Amino acid sequence: MYKIPINLKIDKIIGGSISQWCIARHSICFNIGIVNFHVQSVISLENKNNTIAQWWGNQSLDAMFFDALDKKVVCYEIIHDVTLMIRFEGGIVLRIMDTSDQYESFVIIIKDGKVIIV
């Protein structure tokens, strides 16, 4: 809804990893170090430029998402203002997309008090 700020700074995720996925009826949540992600839109997982799994509310999590667990974050990038791409070691890429102009798509909470709503 609000789009991803081009100057988004979440450098604290570099070197961190996802240790668990938390699934609710319409959201998926995960932490990378001190940065929490609460996603209510499309999230996809890629390996070597091929989409291997996708999640979008009210469905179970594809087992392929477990491939991203405990892999260290190498970098992240904002693509235009609608996609946050997080690259992990081993070529795995997680894409979180802002898919709505009407509702919030995801929230990023940094444990030092900063909240980013997209």
93: closest CA among 53, 46, 49? 46
Q: Which of 53, 79, 55 is nearest to 64 (CA)?
A: 53
Segment holding 85, helix H or strand E: strand 83-88
pLDDT of 118: 65
What is the C-alpha separation between 75 and 5, in angstroms, rounded? 17
What's the Rg (C-alpha) of the chain?
A: 13
* Amino acid symbol at 108: I
Distance CA 29, CA 39 (A): 6
Per-block average pLDDT, block size 10, for the chain (118 residues)? 82 96 91 94 92 88 93 95 94 90 82 77
Q: pTM score, two decimals?
A: 0.91
Residue 90 is classified by DSSP as G
pLDDT of residue 85: 96
> Per the structure block, which two tokens stand in for 5?
């700020």
